[in-house]
Amino acid sequence: MIYLDWAASAPSEPAALSAAAEAAALHANPSSPHPAGRAAAAALEDARRRLGALLGGGRVVFTSGATESNSLVLLSVLDRTREAAGRRPGVVVSGIEHSSVHDQAERIAALGAACRVVRAGSDGRVRPDEVAAAVDRDTVAVSIMLVNNETGVVQPVAEIARAARSAAGQRRLIVHTDAVQAFAKIPLEPGSLGVDAASLSAHKIGGPRGIGALWLRGGMALPVLAAGGGQERGMRPGTENVAGAAGFAAAAEARLARLVADAARARDLAARLSRSLAALPGARLFPAARADGETDLCSPWIVCFGFPPLPGEVVVRLAGERGICIASGSACSSHKRIRTRVLEAMGHDRRTALSAVRVSTGPSTSEADIDALLEFLRADLAPHMAAAAGGSPPRGGRG
């Protein structure tokens, strides 16, 4: 099997597995004042301290994953209803956000907030001036992701934070970034980006599934709408996942220790794949600039392309039959009917957007893996592309 879906979930780092197993033996509740509880609390705090150090300071709040981290930020907006007498607190997000931001923003709009969605350019980037233009006197939060999980495009978050704050003037504004596809994959220090909050997830970097974090600027706290035992300074009540936290810290340390060398190899692989795709008849890269070798625009770990009008899900199914694991859109949205939002927000028509396929690599991906994928695309796709263009299924397949 060739695994090229690391952005959906990454193979475990050995150090994360052993750290999580060791911490799992600490069975006590970290809130318990007895020695067993204190041992669990010490392991939790150790993981928090190590993650904080890797992020350049600030506060780490453990959550069940980035979906929850994102929703904590967005739900906090509802708490401002009382402040803005008679007016609706507002949130600004982009059309290319992961559904845990985009759809959550729509959810809080249904609960009484105002939600503005900013589009991206055809290069896949959200423009700081468009975010600033969407900020009005009632905006209390702006959430723009750092690396898009479908296209890999790196967003100008530092400029966006600056522009949004200057549009807000003296008013208090929470600037949040979903940094899931950035942390331990590209250099990241949320404090120097100028954001107040950043969402992280362990399983995208070889840590355990079901653990994530919300990084908060020092001294910052979020109002949370869930009550409970007051854990995580009240921001995320519920008994903490000590084993998950230990595995998360170990995975992050392992990945960051090798980041420079790993990212250089990933860049070479992404360039090899993009160059070869650009030469394949019918192939399109998203964003197109990637075909010209503009890799600085994008994370080296994600390449998005398609063979319109061949639906991406057909490519994914055929690749799976060859033992190659790739994705169409994000894995989290594969339960939903609409999987075209991100490419449509970049200005593509629906048919082109439906063709998108995502290849995401990791530290152990080899040139041979990329070459096997290219061989499959060259050899197996041609009849399906002809059929898709003509509207009929090829013999021996559903198209």
Q: Which of 128, 208, 212, 308 binds ligand PLP (CB under 6 A)?
A: 212
Backbone angles phi and psi of 60, in degrees to 5? -110, 120
d(Cα 375, Cα 98) in Å, to the nearest integer? 31
131 part of the interface to ligand PLP, by CB under 6 A: no
- Name the residue nearer to ligand PLP (CB basis): 61 or 180: 180
- Name the residue nearer to ligand PLP (CB basis): 7 or 263: 7
180 part of the interface to ligand PLP, by CB under 6 A: yes
Please choose, out of 22-30, 119-127, 175-183, 345-353, the segment that lies near ligand PLP by the rule CB under 6 A: 175-183
- Name the residue nearer to ligand PLP (CB basis): 76 or 299: 299
Q: Which of 201, 241, 352, 360 binds ligand PLP (CB under 6 A)?
A: 201
Q: Which residue shows structure tokens 């998005």?
A: 304
Q: How far is the CB of 157 from ligand PLP (least distance, A)?
A: 13
332 part of the interface to ligand PLP, by CB under 6 A: yes
Q: Count the alpha carbons within 13 Å of 215 in the hemisphere toward its beta carbon.
A: 32
- Name the residue nearer to ligand PLP (CB basis): 201 or 365: 201
- Name the residue nearer to ligand PLP (CB basis): 100 or 139: 100
- Name the residue nearer to ligand PLP (CB basis): 41 or 213: 213
61 part of the interface to ligand PLP, by CB under 6 A: no
d(Cα 24, Cα 243) in Å, to the nearest integer? 5
177 part of the interface to ligand PLP, by CB under 6 A: no
Please choose, out of 13-21, 83-91, 178-186, 266-274, the segment that lies near ligand PLP by the rule CB under 6 A: 178-186
d(Cα 88, Cα 390) in Å, to the nearest integer? 50
Q: Do residues 131 and 195 lie in contact, with contact meaning Cβ atoms separated by under 8 Å?
A: no
What the block records as the tokens of 24 is 């799992």
- Name the residue nearer to ligand PLP (CB basis): 310 or 359: 359
Question: Is the bond preceding residue 311 a cis peptide, omega within 30 degrees?
Answer: no
Q: Do residues 36 and 210 lie in contact, with contact meaning Cβ atoms separated by under 8 Å?
A: no
- Residue among 214, 155, 145 at smallest CA distance from 179: 145
Residue of this chain nearest to ligand PLP (CB atom): 65
Q: Do residues 371 and 286 lie in contact, with contact meaning Cβ atoms separated by under 8 Å?
A: no
Q: Which residue shows structure tokens 């009008």?
A: 309
Q: How far is the CB of 356 from ligand PLP (least distance, A)?
A: 15
Question: Is the bond preceding residue 287 a cis peptide, omega within 30 degrees?
Answer: yes
Between the CA of residue 81 and those of 90, 134, 207, 381, what are the distances in Å? 10, 19, 37, 53
Please choose, out of 62-70, 254-262, 317-325, 369-377, the segment that lies near ligand PLP by the rule CB under 6 A: 62-70
- Give the number of residues in contact with ligand PLP, rule: CB under 6 A: 14
SS3 track for 202-262: CCCCCCCCCCEEEEECCCCCCCCCCCCCCCHHHCCCCCCCHHHHHHHHHHHHHHHHCHHHH
352 part of the interface to ligand PLP, by CB under 6 A: no
59 part of the interface to ligand PLP, by CB under 6 A: no
105 part of the interface to ligand PLP, by CB under 6 A: no
- Name the residue nearer to ligand PLP (CB basis): 247 or 308: 247
66 part of the interface to ligand PLP, by CB under 6 A: yes
65 part of the interface to ligand PLP, by CB under 6 A: yes
Q: Which of 51, 145, 270, 277 binds ligand PLP (CB under 6 A)?
A: 145
Between the CA of residue 378 and those of 42, 315, 323, 383, what are the distances in Å? 54, 12, 16, 10
What the block records as the tokens of 264 is 């250089």
What the block records as the tokens of 313 is 């899900």
67 part of the interface to ligand PLP, by CB under 6 A: yes
d(Cα 347, Cα 60) in Å, to the nearest integer? 36
330 part of the interface to ligand PLP, by CB under 6 A: yes
Residue 332 annotated to the active site: yes
Backbone angles phi and psi of 175, in degrees to 5? -105, 120
What the block records as the tokens of 147 is 């690396």
Annotated catalytic residue: which of 115, 304, 325, 332? 332
State the residues that interact with ligand PLP by CB under 6 A.
65-67, 98, 100, 145, 149, 178, 180-181, 201, 212, 330, 332
The residues annotated with a catalytic role in the active site are 332
